[in-house]
Amino acid sequence: MSTSSYNVIGTRPPRHDGADKVTGRAIYAADFQMNGLLHGAMVRSTHAHAILKRVDTTKAAAFPGVVAVVTADDFPQTPDRIVDLGEGETPVSHLRGNVLAKGKVLYQGHAIAAVAATSLQAAEQAAKLIEVEYEPLPCVLTAVEAMAAGAPLLHGGDTNVTAHVHHAMGDSEAAFAGAAIVIEREFTTATVHQGYIEPHAATVLWNNDGRVNVWCSTQGSFVVRDVVSCLLDLPVSAVRVTPTEIGGGFGGKIPVYLEPVAALLSKKSGRPVRLVMSRRDVFEGSGPTPGSMMRVKMGADADGKLIAAQAFLAYEAGAYAGGMVGAGAMCVFAAYDIANQTIDGYDVLVNKPSTAAYRAPGAPNAAFATESVVDEIARKLKMDPLELRLRNASREGTRRADGPKFRRVGCVEVIEAMQAHPHYSAPLGEPSHAEAKRGRGVAIGYWFNIGLPSSCVISVNADGTANLIEGSTDIGGTRTSIAMQAAEVMGIPVDRIHPAVVDTDTIGYTGVTGGSRTTYATGWAAHDAAQDVIRQMKLRAAKLWQAEAVEFADGVFQAGERQMTFAELAGKMSETGGPVVGQASVNPRGAGGSFAGVIADVEVDTGTGKTTILRFTAVQDAGRAIHPSYVEGQMQGGSVQGIGWALNEEYWMNPEGRMMNASLLDYRMPTILDVPMIDTQIVEVPNPAHPFGVRGVGEANIVSPPAGIANAIRDAIGVRLYHLPMNPPAVAAAMGGQK
């Protein structure tokens, strides 16, 4: 689809924050400096499940250099209530209990106490002097074990299941009875972490005037503001959060961990306090995405029309309710038009860190199951796997089992682009050695994306430039993709707009950078704010020219014979009424969901079981690609993370619930040498519910890679794997290579 009707959208300008980032000047959370800064250290649980019998801070408090020590008892003990602070509905006691454990620890790495001292060394040594007496309890580490009768219970009651999601339409049982082919398989996936390169870090100053200032790395400054004020029993206006640059998040920097603790330490000490997680803390104390067990059953008629589907999804919630199974249940069959469906999802407590969002949270697990079964059906029917998918693809009007009917979506167009891609018809090539086998796999996936509120303010400068302020942490180049939408409206090059991400006092409420919503929703706010600017400037021109009506097109204001560029008119602001400031707030519904797919070629070494990705093509519907390079970057990033899920990443826990590979050495995310150049193809099926047709692109790209690689491995070695990761020992075992 052509983007030629636009001047800015669809081009690839340099990013506004590029110079600071490549020269190392950008300030990340742990770089933030203040006079009188104290350094904090945390004490974390060495048990996965235990009663906290005693926490004695006496020796730590007396250690030279220590200024403050806090435990959960230092939080205001407000009565419990349910709040929704940007992460779904949660009891305050859970938010508070995850930040500092009270009464019980629920996972190894659960924070228990913190120390602030004049040096990091003093804080770390003092933290070791805090005496914690545990009464260990049996722990439970997988959803299946936690659902079994007699399992240790994390929060009392009579079950670890905190929610059961049920969606149904048609009659799947009856439809299976009439199906020509029915495949039912069980799948499991490991707990995996987002693996952002920058660990969590926060500095907090509880000022003498009672206001709390926070500088931190977060995907949602307003979420931090609201959680800190809630846990400290302050009005939201008492807390100001300044988001620093962020070194990745992928959903994992939506939850709040350090800020309330640093605030308590600052209140006690009267000085600014900085807390920084180590990589071990990040793995053990922040939220990974759930490990899962899934049973998927699908039936088709002899022509390959899918007629029935059932899914049982059990996802780990981690230590507190509110995991990702709801999203998994929404996405599990979303790519297909299947009349008869039954979907059951269970959110299950286990003694692992409370799970957090991770790029299309819950969807890659479900797609691994569904897309493996669809691949098997295609093999049984001897149908081309893309042809089978195309025959069943969701389109406008297709109803999902969880209720909504799709509006205009790009599932068909994505599959057609995969079919037409030269990769799909290219020969696999000869294996590189006698013990190697090659295979190709495909898979598709869906993510629904979200809306949420966003605000934007644009101030026009007399030199014809404009300052744009917004509240969305910039993770993927969104300063520029937002500014480009304003520039398109204002008819000026994007380098004449200076975008800035500002603190919570300075801009209206803005939701998290998550759900692929930032270019969509904050971009929409920028579009509207830019329109507000143009509306005001037209009035200025009308006043200047004593004209009735002023037209604006391509950066030029015109009334009859008279015309002025944006810059010329900006130069006359003071004589036409003073500064021009445009603003907008939006809370859009109708985030258009995004479909994506992958074609993966692999070579499996049948001796070692190691899988090498030879070629990898990612296809995704962007609606409208505002900045194609950033869209491609998202597609490549999601692909690489999906390759990590597929091949090696996992929380490797011992039976006592200790993560034994909590380092980047042993967690084994893919390095640059483990992935080929990821080929990308953007499909553009404009979202009718956005002024420029934008669909969020951050997430759908991670959904299908694990399944696509599983299908490629099946193609190569003739054996299907049902567990992620498909690491070398697992592949070797599947081939019977082990004795």
Partner 1 sequence: MKPFDYVAPTTLDEAVHALAGNPAARVLAGGTDLLAQMKGGRREAPLVVDVKRIPDLLSIRMEEGGLRLGAAVPCIRIATNADVRAQYPALAEVASLIGGTAIQGRASIGGNLCNAAPSADAVPLLIVLSAVARVAGPGGIREIAVEDFCVAPGKNALGEGEFLVDLFLPKPAAGFKAHYLRFIPRNEMDIAVVGVGVSATVTDGQITTARLALASVAPTPLFVREVTEALVGKAPSAEAIAGAAALAEAAAKPISDMRAPAEYRRHLCGVLSRRALTAVLQ
Q: Which residues bind partner 1 (CB under 8 A)?
A: 121, 607-610, 647-648, 652, 660-661, 664-666, 668, 670-671, 673-674, 727-729, 732-733, 737-739
Q: How far is CA 610 from CA 626, 647, 705, in A?
A: 38, 9, 17
CB of 631 to partner 1, least distance (A): 28
Tokens of 687: 């979202």
DSSP bridge pairs for 444: 597
Smaller CB separation from partner 1, 121 or 432: 121
Please report which helix (H) or strand (E) contains residue 283, including its range.
helix 279-285
- Cα dihedral 516, 522, 526, 531, rounded to 10, equals 90
Pairing between β-strand 104-105 and β-strand 50-56 as defined by DSSP bridges:
antiparallel
Q: At what angle do helices 385-392 and 363-381 cross, to 10 degrees?
A: 110
Q: Closest CB to partner 1 among 185 and 280?
A: 280
Nearer to partner 1, 243 or 609 (CB): 609
Q: Omega of the bond prior to 725 within 30 degrees of 0, cis?
A: yes
The H or E element containing residue 260 is helix 259-269
Which residue, among 532, 637, 568, has the nearest Cα to 197 in the 3D structure? 637
Catalytic residue at 699? yes
Report the distance separating Cα 110 and Cα 46, nearest Å. 8
CA atoms of 317 and 320, how far apart (whole Å)? 6
Beta carbon of residue 449, minimum distance to partner 1 (angstroms, whole number) = 32
Nearer to partner 1, 39 or 240 (CB): 39
Per the CB < 8 A criterion, the answer to whether 636 and 657 are in contact is: no
Label each residue of 201-230 as H, E or C.
EEEEEECCCCCEEEEECCCCHHHHHHHHHH
Please, which residue, 78 or 432, has the CB nearer to partner 1?
Answer: 432
Rounded to a whole number of angstroms, the minimum distance from the CB of residue 738 to partner 1 is 5
Rounded to the nearest whole angstrom, what is the least distance from the CB of residue 14 to partner 1 in the complex?
Answer: 29
Query: CA–CA separation, 114 vs 134, rounded Å?
Result: 17
Residue closer to partner 1 by CB (options 303, 666) is 666
DSSP state of 400: P
- The encoded tokens of residue 684 equal 């553009």
Q: Name the active-site residue from 371, 470, 684, 699.
A: 699
Q: State the minimum distance, in angstroms, from the CB of residue 660 to partner 1.
A: 4
Q: Which of 30/100 has CB closer to partner 1?
A: 30
What SS3 string covers 499-522?
A: EEECCCCCCCCCCCCCCCCHHHHH
Q: How many CB atoms lie within 10 A of CB 118?
A: 17
Catalytic residue IDs: 699
